[in-house]
Amino acid sequence: MGLGAFHRSHQAWYTQHAGDAGEWGIAAFTGRRPDAAKVLAAQDGLYTVVERADAGDSFEVIGSIVEAVDGADVDRFVQLLAAPLTTLITLTITEAAYRLDVDGKLDSRAPDVAADLALLSGGVGRASSKPTTPLGRLVLGLAARRDSDAGPLAVVCCDNLSNNGTVARSAVMGMAKAVDGGLAAWVDANVSFVSTSVDRITPRTTDADIDAVAAACGYRDESPVVTEPFHNWVLSGDFPAGRPRWEDAGAVFVDEIEPYENRKLWLLNGAHSLLAYAGQLLGYKTVAEALADDSCRRAVEDFWDEAAANLDGADLRIPEYRAALLERFGNSRIAHHLAQIAMDGSAKLRMRALPVLRAERAAGRSGQAAARMIAAWSAYTATATGLQDPQAADIAAANLLSGRARLEALLDLLDPELGADSGIVELVEGLSETFADAGHLS
Ligand SMILES: NC(=O)c1ccc[n+]([C@@H]2O[C@H](COP(=O)([O-])OP(=O)(O)OC[C@H]3O[C@@H](n4cnc5c(N)ncnc54)[C@H](O)[C@@H]3O)[C@@H](O)[C@H]2O)c1
Ligand SMILES: O=P(O)(O)OC[C@@H](O)[C@@H](O)[C@H](O)[C@H](O)CO
């Protein structure tokens, strides 16, 4: 679920490179619009992965997607989930699509979740309309799998969420319980929720990328995907119905995933969010441009120092990881647009800034570098037009206030405990004023 750029540069790429690739095929469903499925289906699911290194591009046609389907075709999705040959389902549906509340639980008041809950609790499969949320569709599919006795399977969350397998499990169980207790018990006994740390910087494809593939390869691919050479996949959990041999392509299977997840979410994604807000306030458009600015680079390094002080539990090789990130971010041939990274900031900051801020303050330190990320976000929300965020309406309402009240309201949206902590509000306020006054980071 979530036939976007990342699924194609990562899980589909790993599947193509598995030693037993010939035994596997992916049916990939879009989330909200049919476009990506239509374009890919018209070229038999084939597309080009462009690996863009400093030294140049390399091109590879990927054939692991055998069916590209509009996510609104819920009947086909349910039919495939009920088939014993279906063994696992990956999720790349964005952080916001999980519809989590500030406590990380399924937000049953979100209008689309509430509508799906009402629909599904009326009797799974009986309603004429279909669920619209990915979780609603997944629950409908799992009910069909139970009814057809097709056996257990794995749900493999590949979104940038902390404890992503646990989060996916809790959201699916939250919906399944509301539908019927028997289904929740079946999911509990038969569905394995695998946690992952996923990494491969993959910006949105542009028209220029399509032209570049045509020029270099001599064919017109309407749906190539451009990505960096680096790729990483760490997984933890069971695959009761089997899986491709992804380890042949470098995937790593571990018992304890949290240290790897936190390293990636805090160091890579945290720095990305910091650059997205601070960089745009300073007029930059891409990650590489923002990182070349001394003040942004310093803010990133400061944040990394704070994050690193709270990372342990495995051989994480933080200095090497940081050095590699500087090189990856500095790859100016990958135009990774800050505006894309900035989207859905309220959901992302909860995983990228807040854990570091909380850990630093619990250790008796200020958490200034993490607070600077929040200050940059807060300043950005006041300047951005057409902000895309699951809490966009509440953010707009907060921005109608001024001074301390405005900041408290914004912090409240990230976590009510932040808004109520005068020490944190003051810290963030001081940093926000610096951006506003000088248009520059302190
Ligand atoms: N792009 C990357 O570099 C990268 C790297 C690591 C992890 N990821 C993870 O993968 C996710 C997707 O990234 P992408 O680059 O493929 O994005 P994308 O926009 O290309 O694709 C996102 C997919 O999710 C669907 N979707 C989006 N919002 C949805 C919603 N509210 N409900 C249902 N479906 C929805 C879209 O329709 C699309 O199919 C990211 O949000 C992140 O969690 C991305
Ligand atoms: O994809 P998102 O929207 O979760 O976050 C934006 C970037 O931080 C992210 O895509 C990274 O490039 C990626 O996580 C690298 O593996």
- Ordered structural domains, the chain, with CATH: 5-255 (3.40.50.720), 259-438 (1.10.1040.10)
Mean pLDDT to the nearest integer, 167-193: 93
Mutation probe of ligand 1 site: the residue of 14, 52, 89, 92 with most atoms within 8 A of C-beta: 92
Mean pLDDT to the nearest integer, 332-360: 96
Whether residue 96 has its Cβ less than 6 Å from ligand 1? yes
- What ipTM goes with this model? 0.98
Give me the pLDDT at residue 127, please: 60
What is residue 75's DSSP assignment?
Answer: H
Query: Could you tell me the CA-to-CA distances from 325 to 75, 144, 290, 392 in Å, in that order?
Result: 42, 43, 14, 31
Residue 2 C-alpha to ligand 1 middle, in angstroms? 6
Q: Would you state the torsion angle of the CA atoms of residues 262, 268, 274, 276, taken in this order, to the nearest 10 degrees? A: -130
Residue from 16, 4, 327, 43 nearest 213 by CA: 43
Q: Which ligand places an atom closest to the C-alpha of 4?
A: 1
Mean pLDDT to the nearest integer, 62-85: 98
pLDDT tens digits along 82-114: 999 999 999 999 999 999 888 888 899 999 999
pLDDT over 90 at 151, yes or no: yes
H or E element in which residue 164 lies: helix 164-179
Model's pTM, two decimal places?
0.94
Walk across the sheet containing 56-62 and list its strands.
Answer: 56-62, 47-53, 225-227
pLDDT over 50 at 334, yes or no: yes
pLDDT over 90 at 215, yes or no: yes
pLDDT over 90 at 54, yes or no: no
Query: Could you tell me the CA-to-CA distances from 142 to 10, 145, 238 in Å, in that order?
Result: 25, 5, 17
Angle CA 37–53–315, to nearest 5: 95
Give me the pLDDT at residue 435, please: 53
Mean pLDDT to the nearest integer, 255-270: 96
Give me the pLDDT at residue 179, please: 81
Residue 441: pLDDT band (50, 70, 90) is: very low
Give me the pLDDT at residue 100, please: 87
Give me the pLDDT at residue 124, please: 57
Residue 254: pLDDT band (50, 70, 90) is: very high
Mean pLDDT to the nearest integer, 255-271: 96
pLDDT over 60 at 438, yes or no: no
Residue 174, strand partner residues: none
Distance CA 273, CA 279 (A): 9
Whether residue 70 has its Cβ less than 6 Å from ligand 1? no
pLDDT over 70 at 436, yes or no: no
Residue nearest to atom 13 of ligand 1 (CA): 6
The two most distant CA atoms of the chain are separated, in Å, by 64
Mean pLDDT to the nearest integer, 54-76: 97
Burial of 156 (0-12, 13-18, 19+ CB in 10 A): buried
Q: What is the mean pLDDT of the chain?
A: 94
pLDDT tens digits along 367-418: 999 999 999 999 999 998 899 999 999 999 999 999 999 999 999 999 999 9
Give me the pLDDT at residue 442, please: 35
Whether residue 30 has its Cβ less than 6 Å from ligand 1? yes
Mean pLDDT to the nearest integer, 192-212: 97
Mean pLDDT to the nearest integer, 151-164: 96
pLDDT over 50 at 437, yes or no: no
Question: Which atom in ligand 2 lies closest to the alpha carbon of residue 198?
Answer: 16
Strands 88-91 and 153-157: parallel
